[in-house]
A and B are shown apart, each in its own frame.
Chain A
Amino acid sequence: MSQSAAPVLEARQISKRFPGVVALDGVSLALLPGEVHALVGENGAGKSTLIKVFTGVHRPDGGELIYNGSPTAFGTPLDAQRAGISTIYQEVNLVPMMSVARNLMLGREPRGRLGVIDTARMYGEAERILAGYGVVTDVRRPLRTLGMGVQQMVALARAVAIDARVVIMDEPTSSLEPREVETLFSVIRKLKDDGIAVVYVSHRLDELYEVCDRVTVLRDGRVAHTGPLAELERLKLIALMLGRDLDEVRTGGLTRFSRDRRQARDRDGAQPAVRAEGLTRRQVLRGVDVSVWPGEVVGLGGLLGAGRSETAKGIVGALPLDAGRVVVAGRPLRTGSTTAAIRAGVSLLPEDRKAEGIIPALSVRENIALAALPSLSRAGVVSDAKIDKIVDVFMRRLRIKAASPDQPVQELSGGNQQKVLLARWLAIRPKILLLDEPTRGIDVGAKAEVQALVDELAEEGLGVLLISSDLEELVEGADRILVLREGEVVGELSGDDVTEDKIMASIAERGAESDG
């Protein structure tokens, strides 16, 4: 990275307002060629909006965008892409029904005579490109049949292949496995060497410190800090993002779980809040047993694809099972019915907030009231007074930031959407809450609040099943951890054994066996 080089892309005093919200307030950011620039901040800080200004989705209300030294206004995302600004979004933006190769080469397919697509060459080229990213797969398969990690790699390969000068990565690792993350980082370093500027948005501090050169911290639509990352202490960075005192963060710890682990209680005579036995589904689950006692937080550990989400979905009846049963408070549950599970007090906060959680066009109010509607109605007619009351209670308790309860939930930040979903469940007073990646993709502040809430709920006697790829969160949050690997429980840790090392050892142990 040469400091003297002129910025390839520069934002000068950019402002952007939405109804009721000032998303960006005079934000300036200079992006140098060959640097990896971390863009961090809580959700709602303006990161997404700034990215959308860069990529032509939004037009700024004030300020100017300088690209290659001259003022630029991208009319559409396509304009920005043609000019050399590629984006990889959190959610993969590809065509799921088309083959991997078609997705990779879309719009640039090799053509033979008569302009017909030369499929043989296309497949060959696609295989070669993907191999460069450490992905070996049948490129003829429809994209949707592949795991999220591989899909993300295809998206990245596609973005880079389009002669980009700036590559913007929005939470690129959120669905990647550690091995894939390594591949991604080597690709990023290669981009850097080629003089391409990378904007890297992530909530994972380890990653930021590993690949990023400089950092810009956004807070409430303004730049809170910008400078070299290596000189910035971790706790200082967190403090900048949160807008809190450094000391407060230091003493509060990185997660908001209380430190003392609840010891296994005296369980003689008591029965688990939920007991799942022998959950089986071909190629996904192989006889998983899970029990959660009231007031206990059970963590599910394991790598991507180990069957953690599937276990949770199997318990609430959202995943058809080949075998196995779920017993709630001593009574077997009708299988394959989420309605029955919810009635018995078992609720799932799904991993994919957008596709399976929120009803985007409906208001915050209606999203919160959704599951509780029957109890908020009389003879099928809903009571607005009851809904208003419960919505008010939970918006306060979870500190949901919205212009009003009537604001469409899709306009909220990820953290606030997650809180809305939590409120939806708390409104029906569940006995067991299954949380699948409850803090993924949400800002540090909301993360801490969600973690504190989980603790609080367990204290009140709720049974919690916690799934998280964040080992630290798992270790600090769970009283007991079950480690899954390839659809089987391969280890159980409790008490002092609940450590990051032991979880990883448990995963590795089983792996070594199957290798040998």
Chain B
Amino acid sequence: MAEAVAPPGRRVLAWAQEYGVYAAVGVLLLFNVLFTPHFLDVANFRTQLVQVAPIVIVSLGMALVIGTQGIDLSVGSVMSLAAALVALYLGYGAWPALLVALAGGAVAGTAGGALVAYVGVQPIVATLALLVGVRGLANVLVPQLVEFRNPDLIALGSASLSGVPVIVVIAAVLTLLMAFLVRRTTFGRQVVAIGGNRAASELSGLPVRRVLLLVYVISGVLAALAGVLATARLQASDPTSLGLFIELSAITAVVVGGTPLSGGRIRVLSTVMGALLMQLLSATLIKHNLPQSWTQIVQAVIILAAVYATRERGTR
């Protein structure tokens, strides 16, 4: 390739699109190191990472769904369903309860995926129905907050592996797995192709419907896992409020990470960075005693900036 001769404005934008989120995280970290007392404390880092881990896990699934031109609004409700199922089946032990919860997430994902892939319902409508219905179901199963003392489950929420919280380790491993899935597997390539041009993918013999279904199942399972982890950390199952509005945080992370909502492109690591950026931002503002409303306004600005940067690059 000959040297690029794009106008400087275009180049800056292209750069921002690729690395903007990394730069923003870097700038924010630097600011905190310089101006926020105790920011470098290990305890603070732990808190931030533990808090962001469930959002990261949900965002990974969301990035996959958005890559197919879809969206999954049901993730928060699936988290609450997982919380309810864990509470119900904890009597059989932590691991069976975890498996039941993940299965619940898979079933919810299958429902949404089937509606989208086979019935042809628009993703936003299909998963909106699930957003409402699944949380309702979770509330029927477990109407109020249930505390528990299962040591295994509590350990999942608060134990550490050589100093790193288990939740964070899980989120990191899943991030790597997802990056591998998207970049290196047939399935990942097919997801991106379907998001880029569904008609062409169909004519190329790709199993479009199966891939779409599976994408929603993966999102459902990841959301369920996030629900279990959040429940384990709370040491209580709270289907009424667990995961409320997390779909918005997840979509924000994906968008801020530079994955276009128009599909055909999935940026896994940047999505994680997007989640981290939003987390760091609110932590920073809180530590400097700015009210929550300021955080929201700044977040809005960042979302707009991200969307501006990911606009379709100039057409030729």
A residues lining the B interface (CB < 8 Å) = 17-21, 49, 52, 57-58, 61, 316, 318, 338-339, 341-343, 347-348, 350, 355-362, 366, 369-371, 373-374, 377, 380-382, 403-404, 407, 410-411, 424
Contact = CB atoms under 8 A, between A and B. Distances in A.
Interface residues of B, number: 28
Nearest to B188: A382
A359 B200 contact: yes
B174 to A, nearest CB: 18
15 contacts: A61-B5, A342-B205, A343-B205, A347-B205, A355-B197, A356-B197, A358-B197, A361-B265, A362-B193, A366-B189, A369-B189, A370-B189, A370-B206, A377-B185, A377-B186
A382 B185 contact: yes
A58 to B, nearest CB: 8
* 5 nearest A-B pairs in the assembled complex, by CB-CB distance: A342-B205, A359-B196, A19-B4, A371-B204, A359-B197
B199 interface: yes
B186 A373 contact: yes
Interface string B185-211: 111011011001101111111110000
B264 A361 contact: yes
Contact of B207 (A339, A366, A411): A339
Given A359-B200, A361-B264, 7 more contacts: A58-B316, A61-B5, A356-B199, A360-B264, A361-B196, A371-B204, A377-B185
Contacts of B190: 373
B6 A19 contact: yes
Contacts of B203: 316, 318, 338, 348, 350, 356-357
A17 B193 contact: no
A370 B193 contact: yes
A403 B205 CA distance: 28
Given A366-B193, A377-B186, A411-B316, A359 B201 contact: yes
A322 B291 CA distance: 64
Nearest to B210: A339
A374 B197 contact: no
A57 B314 CA distance: 10
A429 to B, nearest CB: 13
A159 to B, nearest CB: 20
A261 B74 CA distance: 61
Given A19-B2, A361-B264, A404-B1, A370 B204 contact: yes
Contact of B202 (A58, A338, A366, A381): A338
A380 B185 contact: yes
Interface of B: 1-2, 4-6, 184-187, 189-190, 192-193, 196-197, 199-207, 264-265, 315-316
B211 to A, nearest CB: 11
Given A373-B189, A382-B186, A357 B265 contact: no
B198 to A, nearest CB: 10
Nearest to B10: A19
B264 A339 contact: no
A466 to B, nearest CB: 17
A359 B2 contact: no
Contacts of A318: 202-203
A359 B193 contact: yes
B182 to A, nearest CB: 11
Contacts of A20: 1-2, 4
A381 B188 CA distance: 9
Contacts of A382: 184-186, 189
Contacts of A403: 1-2
A424 B197 CA distance: 15
A374 B190 CA distance: 10
A223 B165 CA distance: 67
A25 to B, nearest CB: 13
Contact of A356 (B2, B200, B315): B200
A359 B1 contact: no
A3 to B, nearest CB: 35
Contact of B196 (A316, A342, A362): A362
Contacts of B189: 366, 369-370, 373, 382
B6 A358 contact: no
A223 B114 CA distance: 55
A342 B205 CA distance: 6
A355 B184 contact: no
A347 B204 CA distance: 8
B202 A360 contact: no
A77 to B, nearest CB: 11
A18 B316 contact: yes
A377 B196 CA distance: 21
A304 to B, nearest CB: 20
A411 B316 CA distance: 7
B197 A381 contact: no
B184 A381 contact: yes
A357 B265 CA distance: 18
A240 B315 CA distance: 29
Contacts of A57: 315
Contacts of A61: 5
B205 A338 contact: yes
Nearest to A19: B4
A424 B1 contact: no
Contact of B204 (A18, A355, A424): A424
Contacts of B2: 19-21, 403
A480 B224 CA distance: 60
Contacts of A356: 197, 199-200, 203
Nearest to A349: B203
Contacts of A342: 204-205
Nearest to B194: A359
Nearest to B5: A17
A380 B200 CA distance: 21
Contacts of A377: 185-186
Chain B CB within 10 A, most for which of A19, A52, A358, A424: A19
